[in-house]
Amino acid sequence: MTAKAFILIKGELVQDTAGSFGGNGDDNWVDDMLCRDGQGRYTLRGESLAGALSATARQLFSELPKEIGDKSSRQPSAWRVFTSHPAEGIQSSVRQNVCIDKQTGAAMDGALFDTETLPAGTRWPFILEIDLTRAGDNVEKLLAVTLHALSAWVQGRCWIGRNVARGTGWFSLENIKITHADWEQWPNSSECNIDAYYEQSFPETQSLVDFMDEYAGKIKPDADWLWQEYQLTIRVDVPENDAYGIDFLSVGGHSGDALMLDIQEDLVNKEKLALPQASLNDSVCQNWVADQVFSYLRNTDGNIQPYIAGASLRGVLRHGAEWWANKHNIILDDLDTLFGTLENSARLLISDVHISDANWQALLLKMHAEDEFSGGVYASALFDRLVLSQACFTGKLLIEAKQEDMQLLEKSIQPALELAKLGFLGLGGQSARGMGHLKWDIQRIPSTGEA
């Protein structure tokens, strides 16, 4: 083992979905704000990262070294994880959330709230210091636990921040470099840019795979937690086999999204809005305003990209699972374990699903309400709804559970997944009026050790 005092691990945490990381403020302009430091920079605190890494390690190992896992110890941890900030220019957006009644599938009264998020693709510098002088006789176990936990993050099993069961806060760890350092090199409090100092002072580094082969090859994870992943694809398009009708999707975004959307610039000029054959002059296009728009995020290049929040998928799956269980007089305790309660975290995690094909199309529908007695139109009931008529979304579902519980939890969710495959779960708005009944393509990915 090296005689150096520290092992330094550097990488990048990349958001696979939007993320929201706890903060607060006095202006209360949003219910759940992002964390910011005194300079107004978006912030992932080191203690949050250390807590997430520790949670991953506890699912891999039945017992952690006391140098990082003893909560009663008064000694500092052998880990030090640095607080991180993304690159400048990243813009946050506000996501509207509503609680879905698991019995009716409709929005619950008094359960509307919003969350400030940063978009998928946001990159966060990651630096972990392992102080070997605090490790005592547990250096080998300490390194094995740390490296296996980081390996799980590389595989995408990294969840940080709010609402990870409902789609946000899914991360992957990339570009890992590992090196040794002594007291003369580290720490150096005179350097403001730790990332640049690392690159300059430690030109010789190892990859995670090479470092694990050298220092963690003999110690393997021994906990009984499993992760069962499902790949999810949802298509909005003309039905297969020339079936009658057409699919539309209207998963509503925040009311502020309608104000920020420029239909002429964001849709018409980008050829994303299907137009009638009759030519429309510019004055008409510029006056288009959508009362209701689909959920979208804005990429770093300024283009909008529709998405479906994991919370939306989770709500309809819970409703479908409840309906099936009630119909067949099945005890619902397993569903509470899957979807979580106010007291216990959910075992079923559903990511946001994002556009996988740039050739998506939208329609602006002119809609109205009719008098059910006269069949006429209410004078003040005309409104516009922006819907998707062509799109392909991809994402993930994942069940994390102990080995003895996994089979039962998978069995509990299967009826809802089968209903989704058949297009029997109405997703988004207007599901009672012909929208959102899409066929989900759900592929179970064999776990390690399965045939």
Q: Tokens 């006269």 appear where?
A: 374
Is the pLDDT assigned to residue 285 strictly greater than 60? no
Is the pLDDT assigned to residue 234 strictly greater than 90? yes
383-423 pLDDT per residue, tens: 788 889 899 999 999 999 998 999 999 999 999 999 999 98
Is the pLDDT assigned to residue 99 strictly greater than 80? no
Q: Work out the mean pLDDT of the chain and round it to a whole number.
A: 84
308-335 pLDDT per residue, tens: 999 889 989 998 998 898 888 877 778 8
More confident residue, 365 or 192: 365
Q: Domains of the chain (ranges plus CATH)?
A: 6-223 (3.30.70), 228-445 (no CATH)
Note every long-range contact of 374-381, with CB atoms under 8 Å and residues 24 or more positions apart, other chains counting.
none
432-451 pLDDT per residue, tens: 778 888 999 999 998 754 43
Nearest alpha-carbon partner for 209 in 256, 179, 176, 235: 176
Which of 146-155, 188-197, 210-219, 284-293 tops mean pLDDT? 146-155
**For residue 188, which amino acid is it?**
N
Beta bridge partners of 178: 9, 206
Q: Tokens 């220092």 appear where?
A: 215
> What is the predicted pLDDT for the residue at 235?
92
Contact 18, 5 (CB under 8 A): no
Tokens of 401: 């559970």
**Residue 384 CA: distances (Å) to CA of 291, 355, 381:** 5, 23, 10
Count the Cβ atoms, other than its own, within 10 Å of residue 91: 10
- CB under 8 Å to 385, separation ≥6 — which residues? 250, 290, 291, 292, 364, 365, 367, 429, 430
Contact 349, 164 (CB under 8 A): yes
> What is the predicted pLDDT for the residue at 67?
86
What gap in Å lies between CA 69 and CA 104, rounded to an integer? 44
Q: Where are the alpha helices (DSSP H) in 45-193?
A: 46-60, 66-69, 139-154
Which of 105-114, 234-243, 368-377, 410-419 tops mean pLDDT? 410-419
> What is the predicted pLDDT for the residue at 351?
95
More confident residue, 413 or 367: 413
> What is the predicted pLDDT for the residue at 126?
95
